[in-house]
Structure 1
Amino acid sequence: MADGNALKDEARARAYSTPLEDFHPGDPELFRNDAHWPWFERLRKEAPVHWCRDSEFGPYWSVTRYNDIMAVDTNHAVFSSDAALGGITIRDARPDLRRPSFIAMDPPRHDVQRKTVSPIVAPANLAIMEPIIRERAGRILDELPVGETFNWVDRVSIELTTQMLATLFDFPFEDRRKLTRWSDVATTIPMPGALVETEEARQAELMECLAYFTRLWNERVNAPPKGDLVSMLAHGEATRDMTPDEYLGNIILLIVGGNDTTRNSISGGLLALNQNPAEYEKLRANPDLIPNMVPEIIRWQTPLAHMRRTALEDVELAGQQIRKGDKVVMWYVSGNRDETVIENPDAFLIDRERPRQHLSFGFGIHRCVGNRLAELQLKIVWEEILKRFRHIEVVGEPKRVRSSFVKGYEELPVRILN
């Protein structure tokens, strides 16, 4: 723990000694080392709308306070998500590789495409899914080794969410780990030693994804409409004539959206409870707190650290002049710790009074379409954990993803104590 505190002190000293004009809060290394917190704390206090003049992602604005983020997120007329302008992440896709998907579109195209897939997470459908999720969660948990150290991310978080994704797509179950791989490949930053080392290697794998899903499309388009996502896209009026690029863009969106957020919240929730043992005790004493704990986990973890927009016109925000064409990054991870809006935001409190007051799902037209499904999976997994295990102990440091977009974990070593 002393080492952990020393690292925190070091991160804080760096954040407060670096001149604001040299700030690059989107540096992926800050997130890999869990060292980003003091940088955003300082920005919220001293430069809530901040211009980074240079970075590996080019220049960009950082919006770090809750209410300013809301102002950007709910104003799609001024702040565009369009893939042609760079899309929704701090990292621009190469112009020749910009694939449209409904999250990287503005109205009206966004609205009709989103409407095509949204029935899959309607309340009636979630009611059908609940017993399936519960049965699978129970089976995954029952197969875990008690008393041995294992990687929670792989055995539980990835497995549960990948099984769910396979169901949503009606994807061949034995190939489900391909979905995990494609999700990770789509969001990673290519570099030596990374998951993919070059952009060309990434594109080759994404072409495999497109080929696989094109085969599924051709099967479904020639069959009567069904309730899975591929069939919905193949038969939907607004989506049945998509180009291959657009189809792949939407498939990747649905894979990443259905995988990364839930998976990293399942891991992040267990880590939070271990870091806050009084809350773990509170949960064991009163499992009825689970529905309240779930949104608190999602706030505390913030599984996607940011979303990006591009200014369509000159605009003022919090006293700063943003120019047409500027990249504007909404740091949800910072807004979720904004002490002017959320009481005691750095504390993890499973009985927090207003746990749904968070930005993790976004706001406005791009609010996460699967937010209720994500919450349902988290709720069920914790109900099933408490039925089985007295304590799941984190026994080593988590290995975090090197990304300032996906805020997640590669490894979380744990041991079950019963």
Structure 2
Amino acid sequence: MSKHPEDFNPEAPETFDSPHVEYARLRRECPVAHTQGLGGFWALTKYEDVKTAASDYRRFSTSVQNVVPKVAFTGRRPPLHLDPPEHTPYRKALNPLLGKDRADALEEKARQYTREALAPLVAKGGGDICMEFSSFLPVRVFGEWMNMPPEWLETLHEAGRAFVLSVHMNDPETMKSTSMRLYDMAKALIAERRERPMDPAIDPTCALLEARHEGQALPDELVVGSVRQILVVGIVAPMVMVGNICVHLSRDRALQDQLRADPSLIPAAIEEFLRLYTPYRGFARTTTEDVEFQGRTIPQGDPIALLYCSANRDEDVFANPDEFILNRPNIAEHLAFGRGPHNCPGLHIGRMELRLCLEELLAVTPNGFAVTGEVTMSRWPEVGALSVPLTFL
């Protein structure tokens, strides 16, 4: 039996609001919590603690376990699975392709894809905004960014969703099999680029193949792992966030109408939605030495979940943290995209996708929309809606 107490149950059934109620309780009563669930781990719930652990890679390593539950059964996938300085050549290769200029260049195509993906729901007066819309759209935008052959996108959507669902179900065997399908896609894409190279200034795979560290090409198996990581990393969060936003706006019709009447408010609204409904909660680190938070010692070698979704509702940082406040004075402090060397490099594309989704959804629903069925919740490492039935009024 573990010497650590069971402070919370990460496998308990959840509703749309219950995770945030539970994390508020932990912040009050047990801000550094421990559980035997999902393999056993610690959880940091306070803003400053999460920010500290995310920023200090020397004491909090990502190379052992990077999410809860632990899912990396099939090899290391840079840059997320490496600490600096090993991870730096991968980020150096990819970061220029993920800047705001690249997001701006993608916007026209992304808006076209958004309208095309919404059209079937408009035609029938609604549908599942996650399963029928926001699970597909990021795959198309991502495929455009990756310069993937269009005929691969259906396979990527199916394989990526199968992997994500296996993680949610905490099914290790299915995680392995679906991850291997994504590895096969990564290997095929690398082979395609080796045979028909593209400009590394516009193609992520070629950028990784051309990257050098101390004069040497990056190891083949780690390039494969990096492409495999890229294949799903930008798909899940937008799907969950669109569902979360739609649930909130269905509950707050005045805000829905306000944003529809004045779309210039949407970028600011997206930032507050990201704070309020941060889609990831289980990014993890492993301690390289004994560390202390809030008077509690976490032993060397133990996994820690950095609960960004809890940190972003920390009462010590964000006033009235459970309320939506447009143009919140310190909104720039939210941690939805992380901190430190493993902050999300795709934040510009992510923000652009969410903005377009909300702009176009509001435009095609002049009479409003509402949730008219049961909301299905995602499980670790995400938090939020996985299925949201909407009716267009």
Specify if TM > 0.5.
Answer: yes
Structure 2 partner of 1:75:
56
Asked if the contact 1:186–1:206 (Cα under 8 Å) also holds between the matched residues in 2, the reply is: yes
Deviation at residue 388 of structure 1 after TM alignment: 2.8
Q: Given the superposition, is the C-alpha separation of residues 188 and 251 from structure 1 closer, same or farther in structure 2, using an over 3 Å criterion?
A: farther
Asked if the contact 1:395–1:414 (Cα under 8 Å) also holds between the matched residues in 2, the reply is: yes
CA distance in 2: counterparts of 1:154 and 1:404, whole angstroms: 18
CA distance in 1: counterparts of 2:300 and 2:227, whole angstroms: 30
- Is structure 2 residue 16 aligned with structure 1 residue 41? no
Asked if the contact 1:293–1:355 (Cα under 8 Å) also holds between the matched residues in 2, the reply is: no
Secondary structure at 1:310's aligned position in 2?
A: strand
Secondary structure at 1:50's aligned position in 2?
A: strand
- Calculate the TM-score normalised by the size of structure 2: 0.90
Letter paired with 1:364: G
- Is structure 2 residue 166 aligned with structure 1 residue 183? no
Letter paired with 1:67: E
Secondary structure at 2:43's aligned position in 1?
A: strand
Asked if the contact 1:304–1:406 (Cα under 8 Å) also holds between the matched residues in 2, the reply is: yes
Structure 2 partner of 1:4:
none
Asked if the contact 1:272–1:348 (Cα under 8 Å) also holds between the matched residues in 2, the reply is: no
| Aligned with residue 92 of structure 2, among 103, 115, 130 | 115
| Aligned with residue 51 of structure 1, among 28, 34, 45 | 34
Secondary structure at 2:386's aligned position in 1?
A: strand
Deviation at residue 319 of structure 1 after TM alignment: 1.5
Deviation at residue 165 of structure 1 after TM alignment: 1.3
Q: Given the superposition, is the C-alpha separation of residues 237 and 222 from structure 1 closer, same or farther in structure 2, using an over 3 Å criterion?
A: farther
Structure 1 partner of 2:374:
397
| Aligned with residue 238 of structure 2, among 238, 262, 280 | 262
Deviation at residue 146 of structure 1 after TM alignment: 4.5
CA distance in 2: counterparts of 1:351 and 1:280, whole angstroms: 16
- Describe the superposition over 1:285-337 as per-residue Cα deviations: whole angstroms up to 9, x where unpaired: 32221010111121222111121111101222221122211211111111111
Structure 1 partner of 2:249:
273
Structure 2 partner of 1:298:
274
Structure 2 partner of 1:415:
391
Paired residues for 1:53-202 under 5 Å: 54-58=36-40, 60-82=41-63, 85=64, 87-93=65-71, 97-146=74-123, 148-189=125-166, 199-202=172-175
CA distance in 1: counterparts of 2:80 and 2:33, whole angstroms: 25
Q: Given the superposition, is the C-alpha separation of residues 26 and 201 from structure 1 closer, same or farther in structure 2, using an over 3 Å criterion?
A: closer
CA distance in 2: counterparts of 1:400 and 1:221, whole angstroms: 41
Q: Given the superposition, is the C-alpha separation of residues 288 and 201 from structure 1 closer, same or farther in structure 2, using an over 3 Å criterion?
A: closer
Q: Work out the number of aligned pairs and report it.
A: 385
Deviation at residue 414 of structure 1 after TM alignment: 0.9
CA distance in 2: counterparts of 1:33 and 1:286, whole angstroms: 27
| Aligned with residue 236 of structure 1, among 196, 211, 222 | 211
Letter paired with 1:258: G
Structure 1 partner of 2:355:
379
Cα RMSD between the aligned structures?
Answer: 2.4
Asked if the contact 1:140–1:156 (Cα under 8 Å) also holds between the matched residues in 2, the reply is: yes
Secondary structure at 1:207's aligned position in 2?
A: helix
Structure 2 partner of 1:323:
299
Structure 2 partner of 1:10:
none
Structure 2 partner of 1:22:
6
Deviation at residue 232 of structure 1 after TM alignment: 1.9
Deviation at residue 190 of structure 1 after TM alignment: 6.2
CA distance in 1: counterparts of 2:348 and 2:84, whole angstroms: 23
Secondary structure at 1:109's aligned position in 2?
A: coil
Identical positions, percent:
25
Gaps of 5+ in 2: none
- Describe the superposition over 1:360-403 as per-residue Cα deviations: whole angstroms up to 9, x where unpaired: 111011110001110011112222233332112211121112x2
Structure 2 partner of 1:206:
179
CA distance in 1: counterparts of 2:334 and 2:27, whole angstroms: 16
Letter paired with 2:266: I
Asked if the contact 2:100–2:349 (Cα under 8 Å) also holds between the matched residues in 1, the reply is: no
Asked if the contact 1:342–1:357 (Cα under 8 Å) also holds between the matched residues in 2, the reply is: no
Deviation at residue 32 of structure 1 after TM alignment: 6.2
Secondary structure at 1:306's aligned position in 2?
A: coil
CA distance in 2: counterparts of 1:80 and 1:138, whole angstroms: 41
CA distance in 2: counterparts of 1:278 and 1:25, whole angstroms: 36
Deviation at residue 263 of structure 1 after TM alignment: 1.7
CA distance in 2: counterparts of 1:66 and 1:336, whole angstroms: 7
Letter paired with 2:67: T
CA distance in 1: counterparts of 2:126 and 2:264, whole angstroms: 29
Q: Given the superposition, is the C-alpha separation of residues 32 and 180 from structure 1 closer, same or farther in structure 2, using an over 3 Å criterion?
A: farther
Secondary structure at 1:92's aligned position in 2?
A: coil
Secondary structure at 1:145's aligned position in 2?
A: helix
Deviation at residue 240 of structure 1 after TM alignment: 5.0
